[in-house]
Chains A and B, each alone.
Chain A
Amino acid sequence: MANLKADELGVKVASDPSLTTGAVPAKDWMDTPAVFEPGNYCYQGKSEKVEYISDALKNNPGLFGEPRDWDIESEDWKLPENWKEIIINGIKERLDKFRSFKIFMDCCVRCGACADKCHFFLGTGDPKNMPVLRAELMRSIYRNEFTKAGKILGRLAGAREMTFAVLKEWFMYFYQCTECRRCSVFCPYGIDTAEITMMGRELLHLVGVNTNWILEPASNSNRTGNHMGLQPHTLKENVEYLCDDIEEITGIRITPTWNRKGAEVLFITPSADVFAEPGIYTAMGYLLLFEHIGLDYTWSTYASEGGNFGLFTNNELMKKLNAKMYAEAKRLGVKWIIGGECGHMWRVLHQYMDTMNGPADFLEVPKSPITGTVFENAATTKMVHISEFTADLIKHGKLKLDPSRNDHRKVTFHDSCNTSRAMGMLEEPREILKAVVNNFQEMPENTIRETTFCCGSGTGLNTGEIMDLRMRAGLPRANAVQYVHEKNDVNTLGCVCAIDRATLSALIDYWVPEVQVCGLSELVGNALVMDGEKEKETGLRFEALEGMEG
Chain B
Amino acid sequence: MATIDHNGKTYNVDEDGFLTKGMEEWDQGWVEYVKASEGIGDLTDEHNKVIDTLQEYYKKNGIAPMVRILSKTTGFPLKRIYELFPSGPGKGACKMAGLPKPTGCV
Which A residues contact B (CB, under 8 angstroms)?
43, 46, 69, 212-213, 216-217, 220, 226-231, 233-234, 238, 241, 245, 270-272, 275-277, 279-280, 307, 309, 342, 462-465, 498-499, 501-502
Contacts of B4 in A (CB 8 A): none
- Check if B105 sits within 8 Å of A234, measured CB to CB: no
- Check if A227 sits within 8 Å of B103, measured CB to CB: yes
Distance in angstroms from B23 CB to nearest chain A CB is 16
Contact flag A234-B16 (CB < 8 Å), given A241-B68, A499-B105, A502-B106: no
Contacts of A279 in B (CB 8 A): 105
Contact flag A272-B66 (CB < 8 Å), given A43-B15, A69-B1: no
Instruction: A226 to B104: give the CA distance in the assembly, Å.
Output: 9
Residue ID in chain A nearest B57 by CB atoms: A234
Chain B, 39-91, CB within 8 A of any chain A CB: 60-63, 66-69, 72
Residue ID in chain A nearest B72 by CB atoms: A241
- Check if B106 sits within 8 Å of A234, measured CB to CB: no
Return the contact of B67 from the options A43, A277, A342, A499 (Cβ within 8 A): A277
Distance in angstroms from A44 CB to nearest chain B CB is 9
- Check if B105 sits within 8 Å of A464, measured CB to CB: no
- Check if B61 sits within 8 Å of A228, measured CB to CB: no
Instruction: A350 to B104: give the CA distance in the assembly, Å.
Output: 21
Contacts of A212 in B (CB 8 A): 103
Contact flag A465-B16 (CB < 8 Å), given A233-B61, A241-B69: yes
CB<8 Å pairs between A and B, sample of 6: A227-B104, A233-B61, A238-B69, A309-B104, A462-B105, A465-B15
Distance in angstroms from A345 CB to nearest chain B CB is 10
Q: What 5 A-B pairs have minimum CB-CB distances, sorted nearest first?
A: A227-B104, A272-B105, A498-B105, A217-B104, A234-B61
Instruction: A278 to B1: give the CA distance in the assembly, Å.
Output: 34
Q: In terms of DSSP, what is the predominant structure of the interface of chain A?
A: helix
Contact flag A280-B68 (CB < 8 Å), given A43-B15, A231-B62, A465-B15: yes
Distance in angstroms from A339 CB to nearest chain B CB is 14
- Check if B63 sits within 8 Å of A229, measured CB to CB: yes
Contacts of A502 in B (CB 8 A): 105-106
- Check if A241 sits within 8 Å of B66, measured CB to CB: yes
Contacts of B66 in A (CB 8 A): 238, 241, 275-276, 280
Contacts of B105 in A (CB 8 A): 217, 227, 270-272, 276, 279, 307, 342, 462, 498-499, 501-502
Instruction: A130 to B63: give the CA distance in the assembly, Å.
Output: 40
Contact flag A230-B103 (CB < 8 Å), given A241-B69, A464-B16: no
Instruction: A463 to B103: give the CA distance in the assembly, Å.
Output: 8
Q: Is B102 an interface residue (CB 8 A)?
A: yes
Contacts of B60 in A (CB 8 A): 233
Contact flag A220-B104 (CB < 8 Å), given A69-B1, A234-B61: yes
Instruction: A463 to B101: give the CA distance in the assembly, Å.
Output: 11
Contacts of A234 in B (CB 8 A): 61-63
Contacts of B1 in A (CB 8 A): 69
Contacts of A227 in B (CB 8 A): 103-105
Contacts of A241 in B (CB 8 A): 66, 68-69, 72
Instruction: A276 to B103: give the CA distance in the assembly, Å.
Output: 11
Of the candidates B14, B60, B62, B106, the one having the most CB atoms from chain A within 10 angstroms of its own CB is B106
Instruction: A307 to B1: give the CA distance in the assembly, Å.
Output: 30
Instruction: A39 to B13: give the CA distance in the assembly, Å.
Output: 18
- Check if B103 sits within 8 Å of A213, measured CB to CB: yes
Instruction: A342 to B103: give the CA distance in the assembly, Å.
Output: 16
Contacts of A309 in B (CB 8 A): 104
Distance in angstroms from B97 CB to nearest chain A CB is 17
Instruction: A111 to B25: give the CA distance in the assembly, Å.
Output: 57
- B1-27: contact bitstring with A at CB < 8 Å (1 yes, 0 no)? 100000000000011100000000000
- Check if B61 sits within 8 Å of A231, measured CB to CB: yes
Contacts of A43 in B (CB 8 A): 14-15
Instruction: A217 to B63: give the CA distance in the assembly, Å.
Output: 13
Contacts of A230 in B (CB 8 A): 61, 63
Return the contact of B104 from the options A69, A245, A272 (Cβ within 8 A): A272
Distance in angstroms from B83 CB to nearest chain A CB is 19
Contacts of A501 in B (CB 8 A): 105
- Check if B15 sits within 8 Å of A228, measured CB to CB: no
Of the candidates B60, B68, B105, the one having the most CB atoms from chain A within 10 angstroms of its own CB is B105
Instruction: A382 to B91: give the CA distance in the assembly, Å.
Output: 41
Distance in angstroms from B2 CB to nearest chain A CB is 10
- Check if B62 sits within 8 Å of A228, measured CB to CB: no
Instruction: A164 to B85: give the CA distance in the assembly, Å.
Output: 43
Residue ID in chain A nearest B64 by CB atoms: A275
Instruction: A309 to B106: give the CA distance in the assembly, Å.
Output: 13
Instruction: A233 to B68: give the CA distance in the assembly, Å.
Output: 17
Instruction: A224 to B69: give the CA distance in the assembly, Å.
Output: 21
Having A43-B15, A212-B103, A275-B102, one finds 11 other A-B pairs with CB under 8 Å, namely A216-B103, A220-B104, A227-B104, A228-B103, A229-B63, A230-B63, A234-B63, A270-B105, A275-B66, A462-B106, A502-B106
Instruction: A228 to B102: give the CA distance in the assembly, Å.
Output: 7
Distance in angstroms from B65 CB to nearest chain A CB is 9
Instruction: A276 to B102: give the CA distance in the assembly, Å.
Output: 10
Contact flag A220-B106 (CB < 8 Å), given A241-B69, A276-B66, A464-B16: no
Instruction: A212 to B20: give the CA distance in the assembly, Å.
Output: 13
Contact flag A220-B103 (CB < 8 Å), given A234-B63, A275-B66: yes
Instruction: A321 to B103: give the CA distance in the assembly, Å.
Output: 17
Instruction: A499 to B103: give the CA distance in the assembly, Å.
Output: 12
Contacts of B16 in A (CB 8 A): 464-465
Instruction: A464 to B1: give the CA distance in the assembly, Å.
Output: 19
Instruction: A502 to B61: give the CA distance in the assembly, Å.
Output: 22
Distance in angstroms from A225 CB to nearest chain B CB is 12
Instruction: A502 to B105: give the CA distance in the assembly, Å.
Output: 6
Of the candidates A212, A226, A230, A280, the one having the most CB atoms from chain B within 10 angstroms of its own CB is A230
